[in-house]
Chains A and B, each alone.
Chain A
Amino acid sequence: MSDKPLNRGPHDIGGEAAGPIDTTDHGMKFWERQANALRSTLGANGITCVDELRRAAEDLGDEYRGLQYFEITTRALRTVLLEKSIFSEEELKAKMAEIRARFNVPDEMESPIKAKAR
């Protein structure tokens, strides 16, 4: 077994050693501002609560460390909306395919596009 502390979530990082801080604000991409506004609207409309979204983010486990902030929140939102049966996985897949087609983006989860967009 590893020496990983018992039930310590990937988000619970206070006290860990880490590198120097980049004190520049790099701002937000447009889609991140939109995703943030979406999350905020869902809270205001009483559809999701922040605690559920945090829990779903923490449940990403080892994946959490490798993802950026709005990637984590987007994944968490997906989890919570699926749990609430607001849409099904099939509906989401179909809608994502529709949007990819609209943007002329190849339907590949690990396409070079992802690297390029960073």
Chain B
Amino acid sequence: MSNPNFDYYARAKQEHGHDHNHDHDDHAPVNEHDNGPPSDYEIMSRAMQELLEEKGLITAEQVRRRMELFDEEFPYRGSRVIARAWTDPAFKARLLADGRAACAEMDIVLESERLIAVENTPDVHNVIVCTLCSCYPRALLGMPPTWYKSRNYRSRVVFEPRTVLHEFGTVLPDHVTVRVHDSNADMRYVVIPMRPEGTEGWSEEQLAEILTRDALVGVTVPRIGR
């Protein structure tokens, strides 16, 4: 049965100054509302929000604004930063030294996040996990994908990273050191992948297109013409 009140959640599509490529198949589709009536947890969450609004501790506008940041801003930052690192060695050095300060140069404010960038080389492949919860550089990459939050990924990638990477289609020769980072406290991590051959002369915008979220977490490597 359809519920006439259900467009309670509907919100106007915000015009945003960004020229994002929303064909980005790396990001799951974004819906403006859910199908079907709300679950108990949804009702609980909504009730808490309304009580907090009534008590003047938050405003609906603040929540809406943060939702927009998570949907429309955060997911598109990481690829821009790493594309800059690929084209500007001095920037890459600063990113490796202090990720947060380097992002600030690009007017990307990471809020409370302290960022450590780790670089893939012909000898080292980095992969990121948070075994204890799902710590993730949200202000740089947006919300983590479903698999990053999953029990299977969190449990396994620490003790059988090569098997897990294989499940993502990433096969590494034995001579490459696999360096797993358990993001378990105050730091957040992003991988600087190796720039693929055949991208010489590409603009930062072109490079950002092949810098997928999965590559920035380290479960895949960037490829031309996926």
Contacts and interface: CB of A to CB of B under 8 A. Distances in A.
Is there any pair of Cβ atoms, one from A and one from B, under 8 angstroms apart in the complex? Answer: yes
Interface of A: 11-31, 33-38, 40-45, 47, 54, 57, 65, 69-71, 74-75, 77-78, 81, 86-87, 91-92, 95-96, 98-100, 102-105, 109, 111, 113-114, 116-118
Contacts of A40: 66, 70
Contact of B150 (A21, A92, A99): A21
Contacts of B168: 21, 23
B13 interface: no
A118 B147 CA distance: 17
A22 B34 CA distance: 22
Contacts, number: 207
Contacts of A13: 131, 151, 154-155
A33 B29 contact: no
A17 B155 contact: yes
Given A35-B45, A99-B47, A19 B152 contact: yes
A92 B146 contact: no
A104 B39 contact: no
7 contacts: A14-B155, A18-B155, A19-B152, A20-B152, A38-B58, A70-B45, A103-B5
B153 to A, nearest CB: 5
B14 interface: no
A41 B58 contact: yes
B55 interface: yes
A95 to B, nearest CB: 4
A43 B63 CA distance: 11
A24 B29 CA distance: 12
Given A14-B154, A31-B38, A104-B5, A22 B147 contact: yes
Nearest to A77: B48
Interface stretch (B114-122, B156-164, B203-211): B156-164
A114 B39 contact: yes
Nearest to A108: B40
Given A96-B43, A117-B38, A15 B158 contact: yes
A95 B47 contact: yes
A54 B70 CA distance: 20
Contact of A11 (B51, B70, B132): B132
A39 to B, nearest CB: 9
